């Protein structure tokens, strides 16, 4: 397994954007209410999506691996954060799917299915509004 990145989320994405700029891409970090920090890149200049994908892959390969949900311990760390978002959504009058037990959450995440997300039971429009009302903390490794 690759060495896990030891810096902050902001530092990781800052280095990723810098690498992409060195390869000629106009990239920036944006805050997405559903996913936290993301890298947005304008391909432009007649370059293909395949070139963008190749350069993104190359740049992520130069960094230590971003933490991912790949262990029961990671899922146990993330569970209370997702429950907190669920509670925020309920307080904001949304009707998200209720959280499973922590054991079920960990098992589903480590299994074939996706781990529970508070927005998963909402329509796309509701999920977007709920994410704006209850955004993720962009400085946490959540995915």
- Quick: pLDDT tens for 53-64: 899 899 988 888
Count of structural domains within the chain? 2
User: Is there a single domain that holds both residue 86 and residue 56?
Assistant: no
Q: Is residue 142 part of a domain?
A: no
pLDDT level of residue 45 (50, 70, 90 thresholds): low
Verify that 127 and 77 share a domain, yes or no. yes
Model confidence, pTM: 0.70
Q: Is residue 18 within 8 Å of 10, Cβ to Cβ?
A: no
Listed in sequence order, the residues at least 6 apart from 40 whose beta carbon sits closer than 8 Å to its beta carbon are: 27, 28, 29, 30
Residue 35 and residue 15 share a domain: yes
Indicate whether 115 belongs to any domain.
Answer: yes
Is residue 138 situated within a structural domain?
Answer: no
Residues 87 and 118 grouped into a single domain: yes
pLDDT (tens digit per residue) in 69-105: 678 888 898 899 999 999 999 999 999 999 999 999 9
In terms of residue numbers, what domain contains 22?
Answer: 9-62
How many Å apart are CA 37 and CA 137, to the nearest integer? 9
Do 89 and 112 fall into the same domain? yes
């Amino acid at each position: 397994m690759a060495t896990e990145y030891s810096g902050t989320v902001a530092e990781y994405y800052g280095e990723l954007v810098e690498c992409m700029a060195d390869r000629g891409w106009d990239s920036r970090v944006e805050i997405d209410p559903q996913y936290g920090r993301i890298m947005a890149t304008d391909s432009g200049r007649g370059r293909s999506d395949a070139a963008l994908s190749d350069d993104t892959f190359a740049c992520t390969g130069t960094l230590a691996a971003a933490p991912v949900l790949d262990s029961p311990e990671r899922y146990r760390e993330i569970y209370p954060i997702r429950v907190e978002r669920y509670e925020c959504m309920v307080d904001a009058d949304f009707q998200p799917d209720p959280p499973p037990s922590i054991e079920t959450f960990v098992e589903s995440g480590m299994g074939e299915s996706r781990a529970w997300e508070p927005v998963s039971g909402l329509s796309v429009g509701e999920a977007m509004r709920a994410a704006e009302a209850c955004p993720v903390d962009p400085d946490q490794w959540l995915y």
